[in-house]
Structure 1
Amino acid sequence: MTRTVVITGATSGIGRASALAFAARGERLVLAARSAEELAGVAAECRAAGAATLAVPTDVTGSAGVEALADAAVREFGRIDVWVHTAAVMVYGRFEEIPERVFDQVIRTDLLGAAGVARVALRRFRDAGAGTLVLVGSLLGHISAPYMSAYVASKWGLHGLVRALQQEGRDVPGVAVCLVSPGSVDTPVYQRAANHLGSSGRPPPPVTDPDRVAAAVLDCADRPRREVSVGRFTGLLRFGFTVLPGVYDALVGPLMRRLGLTGQPVAPHDGVVFAPDPAGTGVRGGWGHGVAGLLRAARDRGPE
């Protein structure tokens, strides 16, 4: 049966990769993101792949916009079977040096935006007695890293929210809530992040291709699971964070400075936290993958 799939955050990274993967299956798609221009582009790609596609410009930080998105999906296709939420923004900086307005907007987008999507989706799924909500979290919902406090707080909050939703939803067996938690992924989010640190950021290697994460999203849509981790070393990092916290905390700062920052100076800016940048979207960010990426990052960063 052809499903109707809503994807929020569809113009970039994991969201765009997921949209194209669902389109290749011929699913009916409702794509949402802030940039109408780039949304039209990804919708055209999905239609070219043979998928009936509706594009609805939406800012997930507004509840009215998310409700209007759901209404548009039902008007166009009659129902919503799967809702995939990937929208997120990021800021680099020491906690006390990040402007309050930037910190709060990252929380508003990454955590409260996800909560707003979940609220709208689950109300409709509960009424229908069926539906699958797939939320994309992060390894940073289980561990922490310096200079990314707003993103870490958001993803820890999202992980807790998902667990609570899974517990509350046990009385409706046809409704599933899934969490996909990748490590570093080759997406444009790092280039588009706000920066109040003075050094530009990058994904600490090894870096996973977004198509791998999209495959996990599709797998959850087909066979819902509570949580799926994607990426090398995620289990090891979670173990170290939990079992050896002192060792982890001693190492994470130097490793973040060497592998998670480029060392290239950058003036303070707000990235796409408050407004989209159509020129900065796409599936991939051009970061190296695997062990080769690890070696290249260490070489490019140079000595501490």
Structure 2
Amino acid sequence: MGLRNHVVVVTGASSGIGRATAEAFARKGCAVVLAARREEALEAAAEECAKHRGARTLVVPTDTTDMGAVDQLARRAVEEFGRIDVWVNNAAVNAFGRFEDVPLEDFRRVLDVNVMGYVHGARAALPVMRQQGTGTLINISSIVGAVPQPYSHPYSMSKHAVQGLGSSLRQQLRVEGVKGIHVCTVMPATIDTPHFEQAANYTGHKVVAMPPVYSPERVAHAIVDLVRHPRREVVVGPAGRALVRQSRMAPALAERAMARQTDRTHLDQDEPAPATHGALHVPAPGEGAVHGGWHGRRRTAMRRTAVAAALAGAAVTAGRRAVRAGG
């Protein structure tokens, strides 16, 4: 399926996965509508997209928690390019801390951006796609939508909600007999983006990317592939796939493995950090970036080895328990 001249709207396009996704579609000759709060970063992203032959861009600064602003984003896309073939709900924020330590205003903000922002995107995109008779809505969740983490309670809750939103929308389209519109959910593992440095943090320690870390381009490739070959859900990253599989077969073991991994490797115990709202309420300054600086080859190889060993150990434990239970 050729993607040239497809019209693609990407929220959270100023950095990370969203920015990599916008460029991936631009590389295919698509018209890309870039949305996020930071106009300066969007303009820089659009400049990179426009370097690809056949790509067209439109920058629409948007706070996805504002339904009116998201409606305007959809209208601008249709006015400029005539249709919306793909809508990628990607804008997301995070807050780290013990459950009792995260301010309620930050807790609500994470849920508002990560859940209601996606609701607003779906409500803006689906009417356009219904009128066209075709379209693909892609919601970016996370592996924590299947296996939650300690220290990021609102984020884990929000990504569970994204899973539910995708499932319920697919069911609604099915019972209505709609066949040309697809709803897909992407579940990345840890991705090398500025996400962790921009998160609110009340842990007392620096938040670092939990190993193993994968590139945002890997997620972007999966998103582009979904437009060609739609699927219900896609997990990005082998370690993420292993953990999600384990969560379905042995959920208690998966929870314990995630708790250990998060506690040991998601916080730098040697580097204290002051409490901060991060970029929850005010966007980070500057031109934005795709990468967060976490993806060194040597460190990634070491992290993958550690995770593989942890998963193998959990699998051995589960096997021993199954043998004892059967005996």
**Smaller-chain TM-score bracket:** over 0.9
Counterpart pick for 1:5 among 4, 8, 19: 8
Residue of structure 1 equivalent to 2:29: 26
The correspondence of residues 129-148 of structure 1 with structure 2, limited to 5 A, is 129-148=133-152
1:248 and 1:85 mapped to 2: Cα distance? 27
1:279 and 1:293 mapped to 2: Cα distance? 28
Residue of structure 2 equivalent to 1:236: 242
Deviation digits for residues 98-147 of structure 1, max 9, x if unmatched? 00000000000001101110111112111221111111110011011100
Residue of structure 2 equivalent to 1:94: 98
- The 10-residue stretch of structure 1 (117-126 or 243-252) with the greater mean CA deviation from structure 2: 243-252
Shift of the 204–294 alpha-carbon distance from structure 1 to 2, 3 Å rule, reads farther
**Do the aligned partners of 2:151 and 2:203 also contact (CA within 8 Å) in 1?**
yes
- SS at structure 1 position matched to 2:197: coil
- SS at structure 1 position matched to 2:150: coil
Shift of the 268–239 alpha-carbon distance from structure 1 to 2, 3 Å rule, reads same
- SS at structure 1 position matched to 2:32: strand
Counterpart pick for 1:201 among 182, 202, 207: 207
Instruction: Give yes or no for the alignment of 1:63 onto 2:67.
Output: yes
Shift of the 127–296 alpha-carbon distance from structure 1 to 2, 3 Å rule, reads closer
2:27 and 2:40 mapped to 1: Cα distance? 22
2:90 and 2:69 mapped to 1: Cα distance? 16
- SS at structure 1 position matched to 2:50: helix
User: Aligned-pair RMSD on alpha carbons?
Assistant: 1.9
The correspondence of residues 68-217 of structure 1 with structure 2, limited to 5 A, is 68-170=72-174, 171-217=177-223
In the TM superposition, residue 261 of structure 1 has moved relative to its aligned partner by: 1.2
**Do the aligned partners of 2:41 and 2:287 also contact (CA within 8 Å) in 1?**
no
**Do the aligned partners of 2:187 and 2:234 also contact (CA within 8 Å) in 1?**
yes
- SS at structure 2 position matched to 1:97: coil
Residue of structure 2 equivalent to 1:275: 282
1:235 and 1:29 mapped to 2: Cα distance? 30
Specify every segment of 5 or more residues in structure 1 that has no aligned partner in the other structure, as ranges: 300-304
1:167 and 1:91 mapped to 2: Cα distance? 31
In the TM superposition, residue 297 of structure 1 has moved relative to its aligned partner by: 10
- The 10-residue stretch of structure 1 (234-243 or 102-111) with the greater mean CA deviation from structure 2: 234-243
1:246 and 1:177 mapped to 2: Cα distance? 30
**Do the aligned partners of 2:46 and 2:57 also contact (CA within 8 Å) in 1?**
yes
Deviation digits for residues 198-253 of structure 1, max 9, x if unmatched? 11212211111111100000001222111111102223212433443443444433
Deviation digits for residues 247-294 of structure 1, max 9, x if unmatched? 344443332122111222111100011111133721110113677326
Larger Rg: 2
2:305 and 2:274 mapped to 1: Cα distance? 23
2:202 and 2:287 mapped to 1: Cα distance? 19
1:295 and 1:157 mapped to 2: Cα distance? 33
1:297 and 1:268 mapped to 2: Cα distance? 30
Counterpart pick for 2:267 among 257, 261, 270: 261
**Do the aligned partners of 1:188 and 1:280 also contact (CA within 8 Å) in 2?**
no
**Do the aligned partners of 2:36 and 2:42 also contact (CA within 8 Å) in 1?**
yes
TM-score (norm 1): 0.93
Residue of structure 1 equivalent to 2:38: 35
**Do the aligned partners of 1:137 and 1:159 also contact (CA within 8 Å) in 2?**
yes
Q: Read off the aligned partner of 1:236 and give its amino acid letter.
A: A
Counterpart pick for 2:224 among 218, 221, 238: 218
- SS at structure 2 position matched to 1:262: strand
2:79 and 2:160 mapped to 1: Cα distance? 35
Shift of the 116–58 alpha-carbon distance from structure 1 to 2, 3 Å rule, reads same
1:158 and 1:251 mapped to 2: Cα distance? 23
TM-score (norm 2): 0.87
1:244 and 1:289 mapped to 2: Cα distance? 32
Shift of the 147–4 alpha-carbon distance from structure 1 to 2, 3 Å rule, reads same
Counterpart pick for 1:284 among 283, 288, 291: 291
Shift of the 242–226 alpha-carbon distance from structure 1 to 2, 3 Å rule, reads closer
- SS at structure 2 position matched to 1:95: coil
**Do the aligned partners of 1:192 and 1:280 also contact (CA within 8 Å) in 2?**
no
- SS at structure 1 position matched to 2:195: coil
Q: Read off the aligned partner of 2:29 and give its amino acid letter.
A: G
